[in-house]
Structure 1
């Protein structure tokens, strides 16, 4: 293109090369494309840098990715949402939560709006590190800020809450999910009911079951049995009769 036909590639053409090398695991070749661009009068743009940073992160070369990030800042190029999310995702996978949160804060400060994918990554890392207050606050408030999360974002946190026995928070999140028409995974729903019964939280279990039944969920037989045993042990006859009625209705349907 250049030497024979004197056709000068543009940034889009170069980006195809950068993406191709990165997908093929040849990140050093992708870096050479950036250098070639500079030397041949084509300034790399945000998409070129983002593509290379993504390749560097996937290759575990975060320090070089951050150097690219700093180079962009020095040149006055603002990283886009995809670029920031790429870095946040890498820090999240490495368990470097504070660095991920700093990048999220920086995004907001420079006017780069995080999207649902960005927040899902952050919520997952917060949940894994059992920083539930922050994760639950995001899940509750983000829709009011115009960020509409998918059901996976809610399910990730609920799964961890069940696993570590944070049943009160799990019950609260369940109500929030169902109120927004997000139904938990079948296995998680049964696990939550069982754990509530085992912890002697019969009232919470009955409330959770009622909410789940309204959403079309049908517990496993063992979950029904355990709930009946728990309620009977606490000598709560009315909830027992209600559960029996629901069980009979469920069998008939």
Structure 2
């Protein structure tokens, strides 16, 4: 309820609900205030967010240090994600001044570090990193992962590479999350580094269509104890989609599942694209079924590919059914999809289906900036003519027959 009220910016009602139940058994807890804080931050209301945190931290139900610390981290994280990093930083400084004995957690510093990098404030991020080192803040793989990703995002790949050495000196072994940004940055720069050359070559092979070379590198990675990430697998799927290698793609998909990875939306997009290109409708439907079963909703991209496939296969009833299903789920199809379907139905002289398609889309709110309206021009003309006839009939009192 608090989330729904916050989403519509009904914060007064949200507080009314909180205060009414403050002393009840089912009163607000730290999760309630976490939701409220995030909604305030998303609305750009930083002071109310801070007041919500300070109010919650004084409640008996949220008086433990761990709970208060968790809420504080959520407050800073919410500010940073909405671009209010300076506000988060200043509020941290105020808290440190008020409580000199209090030492911010590593997670607090990681949140701010990530916030500065996301805002592309390199100097502030580097100052914070120096401060962390001076204060002997215990770093983690998340800290270094944030630094590496941040430097790569700013085009400082060499700095990111140096951090890998620092990590190992501290006894922290880089993982896939740390490596991935460097792989992409090196790829963009066309630069090969010996320490990451193995993974860099993998991406190069995939892009060049050298599946044999890429497979060899992948096996080398696994033999050296490096577990391929989902990003690595998606690199292969991208190649398979372009090359139309269905069997190889499906075999790799099976290995991906067996290795414990959960396919993401990009994985499914690439698989569906690959299968649609080869007109393998049965397999497309099977993959989409698995997609739903794993918690990935069928989005506009996936459904559009399916509609275009069944249309190409001249399964017009199925195409219209999928089109209507999109609308039922609150997703407005692309104009180009509508136009393509409408043209094909008229070409096949399926006027009834074409009219139904136009009527369906005419009832859906859509942009007025599209190159055409979703209703056909002849439909608009017919409606305008009927309107004129009705007005003439009212004015003259003469029954004027309308054309069927």
TM-score normalised per structure 2: 0.43
Match of 1:92 in 2: 276
Match of 1:70 in 2: 254
Match of 2:299 in 1: 115
Match of 2:216 in 1: 32
Q: Which has the higher contact order (CA 8 A, sep 6+)?
A: 1
Match of 1:124 in 2: 308
Gap regions ≥5 residues in structure 1? 194-205, 214-235, 241-253
| 2:290 paired with 1:102 | no
Distance 1:161 1:148, change over 3 A: same
What secondary structure is seen at the aligned counterpart in 2 of 1:124?
helix
Deviations, residues 117-150 of structure 1 (Å, cap 9, x unaligned): 1110001111122222322222223244243432
Distance 1:99 1:208, change over 3 A: farther
Alpha-carbon distance in structure 1 between the residues aligned to 2:383 and 2:402: 17
Distance 1:38 1:212, change over 3 A: farther
Alpha-carbon distance in structure 2 between the residues aligned to 1:56 and 1:212: 52
8 Å contact 1:14–1:33 — kept in the other structure? no
Structure 1 residue aligned with 2:244, among 43, 56, 60? 60
Question: In the TM superposition, what is the alpha-carbon distance from 1:14 to its structure 2 partner?
Answer: 4.7
- Number of corresponding residues: 200
Match of 1:158 in 2: 342
TM-score normalised per structure 1: 0.66
Q: How does 1:1-253 map to 2 (within 5 A)?
A: 10=176, 11-12=179-180, 13-14=182-183, 16=187, 17=200, 18-180=202-364, 181=366, 207=379, 209-210=381-382, 238-239=402-403
Deviations, residues 44-83 of structure 1 (Å, cap 9, x unaligned): 1212111111112312322111111010111121211111
8 Å contact 1:46–1:79 — kept in the other structure? yes
Question: In the TM superposition, what is the alpha-carbon distance from 1:86 to its structure 2 partner?
Answer: 1.2
Distance 1:14 1:71, change over 3 A: farther
Alpha-carbon distance in structure 2 between the residues aligned to 1:45 and 1:146: 33
Gap regions ≥5 residues in structure 2? 1-157, 166-173, 188-199, 386-399
Distance 1:90 1:159, change over 3 A: farther
What secondary structure is seen at the aligned counterpart in 2 of 1:70?
helix
Distance 1:148 1:38, change over 3 A: farther
8 Å contact 2:241–2:274 — kept in the other structure? yes
Alpha-carbon distance in structure 2 between the residues aligned to 1:211 and 1:76: 58
Question: In the TM superposition, what is the alpha-carbon distance from 1:93 to its structure 2 partner?
Answer: 1.4
Question: In the TM superposition, what is the alpha-carbon distance from 1:211 to its structure 2 partner?
Answer: 6.0
Question: In the TM superposition, what is the alpha-carbon distance from 1:153 to its structure 2 partner?
Answer: 2.5
* Larger Rg computed on CA atoms: 2
